[in-house]
C-alpha cells in the first residue's frame, strides 16, 4: 500500500484533500455548491482540449476552469443558477466533443471525469504543490472578508467590501483548485470532497475556525480511507471518495440530530 508507485498518490491526494476541505468550508458557508460543481467541468473540457491540440494538460485545465469560473461569477447578480447550469453543460459538451474529435479512448474519458490518482507522475508534483500553495494563500487572505460577507452582507458592504471582487476572487480560487483536483480525483468527484466533509464539519461545530480545521481533517481522512480501500479492493478511488463523503455527512446528521433531541 505504501509501495513507491503509491508515494505520489498519497502525497498529491493529501494536498488535494486539504485544499478541498478548505475551499469546501467556504462553498458550504456561501451556499455555492452548484458553482463548485460546475467549475471542475471547465477543467474537464480544458484537459480534453489540451489532448486534442497537443499542449500540456495543465494549460488547458487552468485556462478553461478560469473561463468557467469567470463566466459564472460575472452572471452572479441575476439568475445565477441558470447561468451556472448552462456553463456546466456547455463545458461538459465541449469536453465530450474534444474527446470524440481526438478519438480518445474510453479510459481517458473515465480518468478525466472520475479521476486516476495512481496516474500522478513525479513531474506533476511541483506544479500541483505550487498551485495548492497559491490557493491556500488566497483563501487565507480572503478568510475574514468571506466570513463577514456570509454572516452579515450589509455590514460587509458598509465596511466597503466589494462583493463582486470578492466573488471573483473566490471563484478564481475555486477554478485553480479544480484544475489541480480534476486530474487526481476527476471532474465529477472533486466536488464530493468539496461538499460532504465540510457540510459534516459545519454540523459538528459553530465556530468558523474549528469548522475549517475539522473540514480539512475530515476531508483528509475520507481521502486516505478511500485510497487505502481502493488499493485493497482494486475498485476505483472515485467510488470510495464519493460514497464515503456522502456517508460521513449522513452519519453526522443522524448523530447530531439525536444529540440535539436529547439535550
Partner 1 sequence: MLHWLVEPGLWSNSAVHLGAAVGVVVAAVSAWVGLFTVLRAQSFAGHALADVAMAGGAGAGLLAWPALVGFVTGSLAGAGAMELIGVERLRQRDVATGVVLGAATGLSALFLYLVSLDSSSSGATQVILFGSLFSVSAHVLWLVLVACALLAVGVAAIGRPLLFSSVSPEAAGARGVRVARVSLSFTAVMAVTVGLSAIVLGAVLSTALLIGPPAAALRLGRGLRATGLAAAAFGTGAVLAGVVASYDSYYWWPSHRALPVSFCVVTVIVLELAAVSAVRALARRRGDG
What residues line the site for partner 1 (CB under 8 A)?
28, 31-34, 36-37, 79, 81-82, 84-86, 88-90, 92-94, 96-97, 100-101, 103, 106-107, 109-110, 113-115, 186, 188-189, 191-192, 195-196, 199, 235-236, 238-247, 249-250, 253
Residue with the three cell numbers 456553463? 87
Q: Do 88 and 100 contact (CB within 8 A), yes or no?
A: no
Minimal distance in Å, beta carbon 193 to partner 1? 8
Dist. CA 232–CA 242, nearest whole Å: 17
Provide the Cα torsion 187, 236, 217, 125; round to 10°: -70
In the block, residue with C-alpha cell 459564472 = 72
Give the integer Cα–Cα distance in Å for 97 and 33.
Answer: 26
CA distance 181 to 169: 18
Q: How far is the CB of 224 from partner 1 (least distance, A)?
A: 16
Nearest partner of 127 among 35, 12, 45, 47, judged by Cα:
12
Residue 129 CB, shortest distance to partner 1, in Å, is 26
Residue 63: CB minimum distance to partner 1, A: 19
Amino acid at each position: 500500500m505504501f509501495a513507491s508507485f503509491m508515494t505520489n498518490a498519497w502525497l498529491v491526494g493529501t494536498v488535494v484533500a486539504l485544499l478541498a476541505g478548505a475551499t469546501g468550508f467556504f462553498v458550504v458557508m456561501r451556499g455555492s455548491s452548484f458553482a463548485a460543481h460546475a467549475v471542475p467541468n471547465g477543467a474537464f473540457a480544458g484537459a480534453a482540449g489540451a489532448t486534442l491540440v497537443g499542449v500540456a494538460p495543465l494549460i488547458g485545465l487552468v485556462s478553461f476552469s478560469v473561463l468557467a469560473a469567470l463566466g459564472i461569477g460575472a452572471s452572479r447578480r441575476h439568475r445565477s443558477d441558470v447561468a451556472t447550469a448552462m456553463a456546466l453543460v456547455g463545458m461538459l459538451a465541449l469536453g465530450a466533443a474534444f474527446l470524440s474529435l481526438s478519438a480518445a479512448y474510453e479510459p481517458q474519458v473515465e480518468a478525466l471525469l472520475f479521476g486516476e490518482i495512481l496516474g500522478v507522475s513525479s513531474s506533476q508534483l511541483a506544479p500541483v504543490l505550487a498551485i495548492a500553495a497559491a490557493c491556500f494563500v488566497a483563501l487565507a487572505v480572503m478568510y475574514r472578508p468571506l466570513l463577514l460577507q456570509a454572516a452579515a452582507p450589509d455590514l460587509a458592504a458598509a465596511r466597503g467590501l466589494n462583493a463582486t471582487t470578492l466573488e471573483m476572487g473566490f471563484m478564481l480560487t475555486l477554478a485553480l483548485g479544480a484544475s489541480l483536483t480534476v486530474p487526481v480525483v476527476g471532474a465529477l468527484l472533486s466536488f464530493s470532497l468539496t461538499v460532504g466533509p465540510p457540510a459534516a464539519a459545519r454540523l459538528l461545530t459553530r465556530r468558523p475556525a474549528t469548522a475549517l480545521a475539522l473540514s480539512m481533517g475530515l476531508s483528509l481522512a475520507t481521502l486516505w480511507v478511500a485510497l487505502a480501500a481502493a488499493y485493497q479492493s482494486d475498485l476505483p478511488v472515485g467510488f470510495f471518495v464519493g460514497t464515503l463523503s456522502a456517508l460521513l455527512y449522513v452519519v453526522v446528521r443522524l448523530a447530531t440530530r439525536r444529540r440535539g433531541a436529547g439535550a
